[in-house]
């Protein structure tokens, strides 16, 4: 080997190695969230990024775009499908029409408690639901808590089904929720989360439905001061990845992403429990009128929803499997 050739070879090798190292080094996954910085879902994905950085020697990290910077949930779901966004943290509800299995954990009063929801979503039922994302172009990575959704409005407390009559509620964007709230006797209108505050303020809607941390962090409590704890759904959150982005990762990196996502679930639950209490305190201190609800008639009114939405053998079976955990 001549000296010149050896030098050229060394340079070429270094360059190739360098390019590879640079390419391998810099993977920054873009992740969307509708919630503001500090919200448990946002913090959980940031935590996941730290875990991932550690397990990949700093090669892979996640940049979280909070406060719907990348769009409202319907838009980010679409963009994630096309690989424009790598990761998306959304509620299961706007996925109901895209991944039918997500309907089951959103069903009214399907879980008996927070613990029951966690147990179901941690086990084989949760795994099966996450797997159902793949044919739709997503990889389901983790399920996060979302507490229980209850009604709030600007008119009066909801104590009975009669109190819902004539009120117009914004619901999360899912037909299941439209039908659920209509079945309870109110008028449901689906709308993007970011439009709810002004909708309440201008009187376009009388109320909406959500959990403590969302009710508080969105400041909806400022314009809808009656919060009635009917807890009609415990529909959880999901962290999903674009199948297009996923397929670009090596199997080892896919494994690292999955593991980091799983670890973020434990972290999220700690943050969630603390945030629920904190948010409740904030709205109580702000003078919100909170009331408990006798939910028996509410549960009864949901029978047609089970008939309409658990309408395939697969979904019926999933509902049964959830019920079996409660025996
Ligand atoms: C929240 C959920 C958000 C969003 C919002 C909504 O509970 O965390 O992802 O779906 O509800 O009502 O649109």
> For 68-79, how does the pLDDT look when each residue is reduced to its tens digit (9 = 90+)?
999 999 999 999
What pLDDT is attached to residue 59? 98
Q: What is the per-residue pLDDT across 221-274, written as a single tens digit (0 to 9) for each?
A: 999 999 999 999 999 999 999 999 999 999 999 999 999 999 999 999 999 999
Residues pairing with 64 in the sheet: 31
What pLDDT is attached to residue 17? 42
What is the Cα–Cα distance from 17 to 186, expressed in whole angstroms?
Answer: 64
What pLDDT is attached to residue 12? 44
Q: Whose CA is nearest to atom 12 of ligand 1?
A: 172
What pLDDT is attached to residue 23? 52
Tell me what percent of the residues of the chain surpass a pLDDT of 90: 92
What pLDDT is attached to residue 14? 44
Q: Is 274 helix (H, G, I), strand (E, B) or coil?
A: helix
Say which residue the tokens 């019920």 belong to: 323
Q: Is 185 helix (H, G, I), strand (E, B) or coil?
A: coil
Q: What is the per-residue pLDDT across 280-311, written as a single tens digit (0 to 9) for each?
A: 999 999 999 999 999 999 999 999 999 999 99
What pLDDT is attached to residue 24? 59
Helix (H) or strand (E) holding 237: strand 237-242
Q: Taking residues 142-170, what's their average pLDDT?
A: 98
The pTM of the full predicted model, rounded to 2 decimals, is 0.93
What strand order describes the sheet that includes 207-210? 187-190, 168-171, 207-210, 149-153, 226-233, 289-292
What is the Cα–Cα distance from 194 to 208, expressed in whole angstroms?
Answer: 12
Q: Is 173 helix (H, G, I), strand (E, B) or coil?
A: coil
Whether ligand 1 lies within 6 angstroms of the CB of 211 is answered as: yes
Q: Is 90 helix (H, G, I), strand (E, B) or coil?
A: strand
What is the Cα–Cα distance from 263 to 252, expressed in whole angstroms?
Answer: 17
Whether ligand 1 lies within 6 angstroms of the CB of 210 is answered as: yes
pLDDT for residue 25 is more than 90: no
CB-based burial of residue 231 (10 Å sphere; 0-12 exposed, 13-18 middle, 19+ buried)?
buried
Nearest to 280 by CA among 193, 150, 176: 150
pLDDT averaged over every residue in the chain: 94
Contact 280, 213 (CB under 8 A): no
Distance 179 CA to ligand 1 centre (A): 18
Pairing relationship of beta strands 226-233 and 289-292 according to DSSP bridges: parallel
Whether ligand 1 lies within 6 angstroms of the CB of 73 is answered as: yes
CB-based burial of residue 41 (10 Å sphere; 0-12 exposed, 13-18 middle, 19+ buried)?
buried
Distance 151 CA to ligand 1 centre (A): 13
């Amino acid at each position: 080997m001549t000296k010149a050739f050896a030098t050229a070879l060394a340079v070429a090798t270094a360059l190739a190695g360098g390019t590879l190292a640079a390419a391998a080094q810099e993977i920054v996954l873009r992740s969307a969230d509708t919630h503001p910085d500090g919200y448990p879902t946002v913090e959980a994905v940031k935590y996941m990024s730290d875990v991932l950085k550690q397990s990949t020697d700093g090669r892979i990290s996640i940049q979280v775009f909070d406060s719907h910077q990348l769009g409202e949930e319907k838009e980010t779901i679409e963009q994630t499908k096309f690989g424009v966004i790598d990761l998306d943290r959304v509620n299961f509800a706007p996925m109901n029409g895209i991944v039918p299995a997500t309907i089951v954990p959103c069903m009214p009063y399907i879980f008996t408690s927070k613990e029951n929801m966690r147990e179901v979503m941690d086990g084989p039922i949760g795994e099966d639901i996450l797997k159902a994302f793949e044919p739709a172009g997503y990889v389901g990575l983790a399920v996060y808590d979302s507490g229980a959704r209850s009604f709030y409005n600007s008119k009066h407390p909801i104590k009975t089904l009669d109190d819902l009559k004539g009120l117009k509620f914004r619901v999360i964007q899912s037909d299941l929720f439209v039908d659920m709230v209509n079945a309870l006797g109110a008028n449901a209108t689906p709308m993007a989360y970011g439009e709810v505050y002004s909708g309440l303020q201008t009187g376009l809607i009388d109320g909406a439905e959500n959990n403590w941390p969302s009710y508080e962090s969105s400041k909806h409590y400022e314009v809808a001061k009656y919060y009635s704890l009917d807890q009609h759904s415990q529909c959880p959150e999901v962290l999903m990845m674009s199948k297009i982005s996923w397929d670009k990762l090596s199997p080892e990196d896919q494994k690292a992403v999955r593991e980091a996502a799983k670890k973020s679930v434990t972290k999220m639950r700690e943050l969630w429990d603390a945030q629920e209490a904190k948010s409740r305190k904030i709205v109580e201190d702000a003078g919100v009128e909170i009331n408990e609800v006798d939910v028996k008639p509410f549960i009864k009114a949901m029978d047609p929803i089970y008939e309409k939405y658990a309408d395939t053998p697969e979904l019926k079976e999933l509902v049964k499997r959830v019920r079996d955990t409660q025996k």
